[in-house]
């Protein structure tokens, strides 16, 4: 499963990229606002750090407006992935952009039927929001399972990009289901390495090593 970081914070992206774990980045207007930086500037910098897809979201809601904004965004770098909302206008834009060779991430997916539409529109990625789905009384991971089944039934090439990931269990369950990608805040990704027994083991090894009085 590919790991994307859901952030616009350059320091976090550089740290994760250095580990070799980072396959791409997703951003949105809220994350850009949180960074406090110019949208175009920060997106260009992110694209220079990671070689994988960097999702940059349009803010227009009509097809013509989305296409105008997408034309600006895809000039930033070759690895920009245009992010559009899962609406009829967004799907129309998705079809036009992917037909022209651009990567497209169809976002704010909350049902398997919506994901089916995104795949038929030629989306590169579809982003079902599991955390927000859970928040509203639904089973976010069941949604991922339903999408995986449908996509496998028809051999759709659209990749399932699990979004709104809140914790390690979301990552684990998505991987077990066979999601293609997950995107999470840097803290969640870094938290995956932690285990109390790992920490305890290191502590024991170091204590024993200190008793030997040796150095490497």
**Are the beta carbons of 63 and 89 closer than 8 angstroms?**
yes
CA distance 100 to 209: 60
Residue 55: partners with Cβ closer than 8 Å, 6 or more residues away = 4, 24, 25, 26, 27, 28, 81, 82, 83, 105, 107, 125
CA distance 137 to 11: 35
With tokens 């079809």, the residue in question is 95
Point out which residues pair with 56 in neighbouring strands.
82
Q: Which of 34, 83, 176, 215 is catalytic?
A: 83
49: Cα separation from own chain's centroid: 16
83 carries an active-site annotation: yes
Q: Single out the residue of 43, 44, 49 nearest to residue 11, CA to CA.
A: 49
CA distance 148 to 42: 33
**Residues known to be catalytic:** 83
């Amino acid at each position: 499963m590919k790991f994307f970081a859901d952030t616009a914070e350059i320091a976090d992206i550089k740290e994760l990229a250095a580990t070799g774990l980072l396959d791409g980045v997703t951003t949105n207007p809220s994350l850009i606002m949180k960074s406090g930086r110019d949208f175009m500037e920060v997106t260009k910098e992110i694209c220079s750090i990671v070689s994988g897809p960097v999702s940059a979201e349009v803010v227009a809601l009509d097809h013509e407006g989305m296409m105008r904004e997408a034309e600006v965004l895809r000039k930033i770098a070759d690895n920009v992935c245009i992010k559009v909302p899962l609406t009829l206008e967004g799907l129309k834009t998705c079809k036009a952009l992917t037909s022209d060779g651009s990567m497209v991430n169809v976002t704010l997916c909350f049902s398997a039927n919506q994901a089916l539409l995104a795949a038929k529109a030629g989306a590169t990625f579809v982003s079902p929001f599991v955390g927000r789905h859970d928040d509203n009384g639904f089973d976010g991971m069941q949604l991922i399972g339903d999408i995986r089944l449908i996509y496998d039934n028809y051999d759709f090439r659209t990749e399932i990009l699990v979004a709104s990931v809140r914790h390690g269990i979301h990552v684990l369950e998505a991987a077990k289901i066979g999601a293609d990608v997950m995107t999470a805040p840097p803290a969640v990704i870094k938290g995956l390495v932690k285990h109390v027994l790992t920490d305890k083991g290191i502590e024991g090894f170091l204590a024993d090593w200190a008793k030997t009085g040796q150095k490497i």
